[in-house]
Chains A and B, each alone.
Chain A
Amino acid sequence: MFKKIIVSMLMILFVMVSTSVTFADDGPGGNKRKGKYTYRKVYKACAQRGEVSEKKPPINPSDKTMAQWQRIFENKDFADFKCAPEWAALSDEDILDIYSYLYGYAADSPSPATCK
């Protein structure tokens, strides 16, 4: 009986680990290349409108961990990004692309990056 419990727990653990690894590798599933462009485009438009002074996005992908990005996008909490009108105008696909970009280059990702 005890053996069965141990084996079952190990199997559950294996499934959990492999699921999380798979998730970490795949990311949110959007187009991170397109997301990089869209993300920068948001701030270009926002700077033209005058809300922010620089065209460069104020938050870099490597400013947060993958878990933090996941939380922000799952909650759709974009307040820290400013430029609310531009964010509101984005389609779900655009947001997913941006999420994929930020997540893919997060601080704890294999290749953390700035907005360079």
Chain B
Amino acid sequence: MKQQLLLRYLVVLAVATGLIGCTATRNNTAVLSPPAAPEWQFHSIVDVEFVMENATIPMPDNVMIIDARPYKPKYVNGHIPGAVSIPDSQFDKQVNLLPKDKNTLLIYYCGGLACKLSHKSAQKAEKLGYSNVKVFAKGFPKWKKTPGNYVSVSVDHVAAALEKNQAVIVDARPKKPKFDKGHIPTALSIPFTYFDKYKGKLPRDTNTPLIFYCGGLTCKLSHKSATAALALGYTNVNVFSQGYPEWKKAFGASPAAAIKPGDTEGSMDIATFEKMLSETPHNMMIVDVRDKDEFDKGSFKSAVHIPVDDLEDKIKDLPSDKPVVFICSTGARSGEAYYMIQDVRPSLKNIYYLEAACSFNKDGSFEIKKTEG
């Protein structure tokens, strides 16, 4: 009898426990269910894996990834490789950038889950008749956070990084003839084919921003190099996908013929220098050969810093497609740098120095005074 009672008690307990469990499960289900999608959310959302599968270089004709954020500063300073910029605010004006084939896969993204721009653009595209439109709702923040991903930057970003000396620019094309024929000022030559051999040229600090480039949108070398740099542990890896053709388009080739020499051998006419500095600073490479403490107090915005004591080791990195102009505080060290090139790398022809005293003020202004050679 007692045994029967105990058995019934256990059965009741088990049923009750089961019921509570079921209720709890139902309650949990209610808690975990996603909140209702906001009205503005597009109906077809994709995750980062989907985007990674489709973000191939070069982009296939039947896929277009579209950045719906403002061109400046968002797209310029970082976007998904291969993405086209059609800001939502410019949708109507730039609708001609969309592919003619309405079956093309369009993947819109913007600044993350709270950003409506990609959803708005996707809806507009669908209204135009595009049948395969998706939104990568987690957008650019998720792309950047995902291990193994790097970002693309635009020519304006590269120029700003160069001016502020804020990134190491790496040319991934073959050195001969591509790099030797012309490259972005200050760029290191690390051809992808020899990446392992020359990776020691990369900065030791793995947090240093790196910008890889090669021969344009269809060139894979910079992307492969970027992936290799990520594998080495570099945390700020960028690709200038439009590469050297875009750089040349924006800043032109070497204007060597326009340069007027100064009074002394190897010097550049100061007025010519000042004109180039104000109008086309990227058409020459200014190398400040003073010591670090002097350079830190001020220099020309577009100048790169190579102290004269370190110059010999870096002579091979100087470009041959643009004039290189050495500057210092009196003309002595810049003149020394000029003669060092004549001695060590005489094949480099576009070399000048300023026979002038250059002084810089805290507010960024400067003075160039001619000295006697």
Given A41-B343, A111-B330, answer yes or no on A33-B291 (Cβ-Cβ < 8 Å): no
Number of A-B contacts (CB under 8 A): 37
Show 11 residue pairs from A and B whose CB-CB distance is below 8 angstroms, ordered by the A residue. Answer: A32-B332, A32-B335, A33-B265, A33-B335, A33-B339, A34-B335, A36-B332, A36-B335, A36-B339, A37-B336, A41-B343
- In chain A between 28 and 45, which residues have their CB closer than 8 angstroms to a CB of chain B? 31-34, 36-38, 40-41
A105–B335 alpha-carbon span in the complex (Å): 14
Q: Are B332 and A33 in contact (CB under 8 A)?
A: yes
User: Is A116 part of the binding interface, using a Cβ–Cβ cutoff of 8 Å?
Assistant: yes
How near does chain A come to B352, taking the closest CB pair, in angstroms?
A: 12
Q: Are B332 and A113 in contact (CB under 8 A)?
A: yes
Q: Which A residues are CB-close (under 8 A) to B343?
A: 37, 41
- In chain B between 320 and 354, which residues have their CB closer than 8 angstroms to a CB of chain A? 330-333, 335-336, 338-340, 343, 353
Closest to B337 in A: A37
Q: Which A residues are CB-close (under 8 A) to B355?
A: 33
The 8 Å CB contact of B339, one of A34, A105, A111, A116, is A34
A116–B332 alpha-carbon span in the complex (Å): 9
Q: Are B330 and A33 in contact (CB under 8 A)?
A: no
- In chain A between 58 and 114, which residues have their CB closer than 8 angstroms to a CB of chain B? 105, 111, 113
Q: Which A residues are CB-close (under 8 A) to B266?
A: 33
Q: Which B residues are CB-close (under 8 A) to A31?
A: 265
Closest to A39 in B: B336
Q: Which A residues are CB-close (under 8 A) to B338?
A: 33
In the A-B complex, the 4 residue pairs with the smallest Cβ-Cβ separation, listed nearest first, are A33-B335, A37-B339, A36-B336, A37-B336
Q: Which B residues are CB-close (under 8 A) to A40?
A: 336
Residues in A lying within 8 Å of B, measured CB to CB? 31-34, 36-38, 40-41, 105, 111, 113, 116
- B264, B265, B336, B353: residue with the most chain A Cβ atoms closer than 10 Å: B336
Q: Which A residues are CB-close (under 8 A) to B21?
A: none
Q: Are A33 and B340 in contact (CB under 8 A)?
A: no
User: Is B373 part of the binding interface, using a Cβ–Cβ cutoff of 8 Å?
Assistant: yes
How near does chain B come to A107, taking the closest CB pair, in angstroms?
A: 16
How near does chain A come to B234, taking the closest CB pair, in angstroms?
A: 33
Contact with A along B260-292 (1 / 0, CB 8 A): 000011100000000000000000000000010
- In chain B between 148 and 183, which residues have their CB closer than 8 angstroms to a CB of chain A? none
Q: Which B residues are CB-close (under 8 A) to A37?
A: 335-336, 339-340, 343
Closest to A41 in B: B343
Q: Which B residues are CB-close (under 8 A) to A36?
A: 332-333, 335-336, 339
Q: Which B residues are CB-close (under 8 A) to A111?
A: 330
Q: Are A116 and B333 in contact (CB under 8 A)?
A: yes
Q: Are A116 and B336 in contact (CB under 8 A)?
A: no
- B291, B331, B335, B355: residue with the most chain A Cβ atoms closer than 10 Å: B335
How near does chain B come to A8, taking the closest CB pair, in angstroms?
A: 35
A116–B292 alpha-carbon span in the complex (Å): 12
Q: Which A residues are CB-close (under 8 A) to B332?
A: 32-33, 36, 105, 113
How near does chain B come to A86, taking the closest CB pair, in angstroms?
A: 15
Q: Are A116 and B291 in contact (CB under 8 A)?
A: yes
Q: Which A residues are CB-close (under 8 A) to B340?
A: 37
Closest to B341 in A: A37
Q: Which B residues are CB-close (under 8 A) to A34?
A: 335, 339
A79–B289 alpha-carbon span in the complex (Å): 31
How near does chain A come to B187, taking the closest CB pair, in angstroms?
A: 26
A32–B336 alpha-carbon span in the complex (Å): 9
- B266, B339, B355: residue with the most chain A Cβ atoms closer than 10 Å: B339
A116–B291 alpha-carbon span in the complex (Å): 9
A38–B335 alpha-carbon span in the complex (Å): 11
- B331, B333, B355: residue with the most chain A Cβ atoms closer than 10 Å: B333
Additional A-B contacts beyond A32-B332, A33-B266 (20; CB < 8 A): A31-B265, A32-B373, A33-B265, A33-B331, A33-B335, A33-B338, A33-B355, A34-B335, A36-B336, A37-B336, A37-B339, A37-B340, A37-B343, A38-B339, A40-B336, A105-B332, A111-B330, A113-B332, A116-B291, A116-B333
How near does chain B come to A61, taking the closest CB pair, in angstroms?
A: 10
A38–B339 alpha-carbon span in the complex (Å): 9
A111–B266 alpha-carbon span in the complex (Å): 22
Q: Which B residues are CB-close (under 8 A) to A38?
A: 339
Q: Which A residues are CB-close (under 8 A) to B339?
A: 33-34, 36-38
A26–B264 alpha-carbon span in the complex (Å): 14
